[in-house]
Structure 1
Amino acid sequence: MASHTALLIIDYTNDFVADKGALSCGITGQKLAPRIIELANEFVSNGDWVILPTDVHTPNDPYHPETKLFPSHNVRGTWGREFYGDVAKWYDQNKNQDKVYMYDKTRYSAFAGTDLDIRMRERHVDTLHLVGVCTDICVLHTAVDAYNLNYNLVIHEKGVAALSSAGQSWALDHFKHVLGASVID
């Protein structure tokens, strides 16, 4: 029987999580790793999809809107774009499984400019579980697009982190009260 559920591990890279990352959530992001790995193992064991939508950029791209907003980050082939810590180890150990893969994205949302929706529909996925960073940026924009595409949403509160506590609180409230997502943990 086909699985109808996928876990999206969004942007869990050195640039967003490590102390020396270009746009790091710092310790709040670093503390997510055990929960993310626990969920990823659970999804793999259940035969569900584990997808890692991961930001990728070209330094100083004059055509990309983030160039004006943020320092250069998640540049292909750099340390900053590598997965952080134990999540990197988990991915290296599991990347050859049929239902585990990294997914390039160039905008906040994992759906913007990608074929993620088509891939999920082909696989009959109707429920997305979201973890990763930043709660109020890439996780939020992915959730908004998923909502608009009629996916059921589950946000794992102990699996997401923002750059600020205010951003975290606002986004969690938005998931619940505006997107109708289940916020659990």
Structure 2
Amino acid sequence: MTEHTLILARTALVLIDLQNSNVKRELAPYTAEQTVGNCVLLAQEMRSRGAMVVYVRVLLNELPVPLADAPMRPPGAAAPPYDASELAEMAGVEATDIVVTKRQWGAFYGTELDQLLRRRHIDTLLLGGIATNFGVESTARAAFDRSYKLVFAEDAMSSMDAEAHHFACKHIFPKMGRVRSTRALIDMLHAGTGDA
């Protein structure tokens, strides 16, 4: 696949579900500290270049509880604590960032995200967050269906299962866009090449 140039004025960093409930989970292959730390590094780099930074959070109490073989929250389970849906302090949200609230895994359905991106002429998304194979993948699939170009920061995302993370990063995301490390993306931004 040929490389393309990242035009920062048309690129947004979209970070999925870096909220209290997720950063307290045991994650793999990267810990919450590693994952969020890489997300923060990317956010700082993008902000310093005037690029759009979006944090997405999910209202846990409003997530659907389907009849499923392995639901995320079994029917009748205690409601999450009041602050579980709040973005974690360690995520480093700044006043200039955009915060989008969702009520399902993906960040597009039922939110203003697509409109916010299109009004700013964004056509490329750089994605990270928790969890790789839930919120990040669901958002990526919806973005792909809407013809956004995608770049995945592989070590700025993690899951509750390392195998699920690796499967998405090796078999799903490369078919939708480019998978890069945080370091590679930051080096590219420092070099000013814009090649992802």
Q: Same fold (TM over 0.5)?
A: yes
Q: How far apart are 1:131 and its partner, in Å?
A: 0.7
Pick one of 34, 37, 46 that aligns with 2:37. 34
Spell out the pairing of 1:51-62 with structure 2 (5 A cutoff): 51-58=54-61
Within the candidate set 103, 106, 110, 1:109 is matched to 106
Q: Does the C-alpha gap of structure 1 residues 47 and 25 become closer, same or farther in structure 2, counting only changes over 3 Å?
A: same
Q: Give the drift of 1:54.
A: 0.7
Q: Which structure 2 residues correspond to residues 92-171 of structure 1 after superposition, within 5 A?
A: 94-95=94-95, 97=96, 100-171=97-168
CA gap 1:117/1:110 in 2 versus in 1, 3 angstroms: same
Opposite residue 51 of structure 1, the aligned amino acid is V
Residue identity opposite 1:35 in structure 2: N
Distance across 2 between alignment mates of 1:53 and 1:74: 21
1:46 alignment counterpart:
49
The gaps in structure 1 that reach 5 residues or longer are none
Q: Specify which of 84, 90, 106 is matched with residue 88 of structure 2.
A: 84
| TM-score (norm: length of structure 2) | 0.77
Match for residue 175 of structure 1 among 173, 176, 185: 173
Structure 2: unaligned runs, 5 residues or longer: 1-6, 182-196
Deviation at 1:2, TM superposition (A): 8.2
Cα distance in 1 between the residues matched to 2:134 and 2:155? 17
**Could you tell me which residue of structure 2 aligns to residue 4 of structure 1?**
10
Deviation at 1:58, TM superposition (A): 2.5
Q: Within 1, Cα distance between the matches of 2:122 and 2:129? A: 19
CA–CA distance in 2 between the matches of 1:101 and 1:25?
26
Larger C-alpha radius of gyration, 1 or 2? 2
With over 3 angstroms needed to count, the CA separation of the structure-2 counterparts of 1:8 and 1:2, relative to structure 1, is closer
Classify 1:34/1:182 alpha carbon distance in 2 versus 1 (closer, same or farther; 3 Å). same
Is 2:180 aligned against 1:184? yes
Provide the residue aligned with 2:190 in structure 1: none
RMSD over aligned Cα atoms: 2.5
User: Share of identical aligned residues, percent?
Assistant: 25
- Where 2:61 maps in the other structure, the secondary structure is coil
Instruction: Classify the secondary structure of the residue corresponding to 1:128.
Output: strand
Alpha-carbon offset, residue 74 of structure 1 = 9.1
Runs of 4+ that moved beyond 6 A: none
Number of aligned residue pairs: 168
Does residue 15 of the first structure (1) align with residue 21 of the second (2)?
Answer: yes
- Does the Cα contact within 8 Å between 1:55 and 1:74 map onto a contact in 2? no
Specify the SS of the correspondent of 2:121. Answer: coil
The alpha carbon displacement at 1:67 in A equals 8.0
Contact conserved, 2:39 with 2:128, CA < 8 A, in 1?
yes
Q: Which has the higher contact order (CA 8 A, sep 6+)?
A: 2
> Which secondary structure state, in structure 2, belongs to the residue aligned with residue 58 of structure 1?
helix
Q: What is the CA distance between 1:57 and its match in structure 2?
A: 3.2
| 2:60 and 2:84 in contact (8 A); partners too | no
Whole-angstrom distance in 2 between the partners of 1:51 and 1:74:
27
Q: Is the 8 A contact 1:74 1:80 kept in 2?
A: no
Residue 66 (structure 1) shift: 5.2
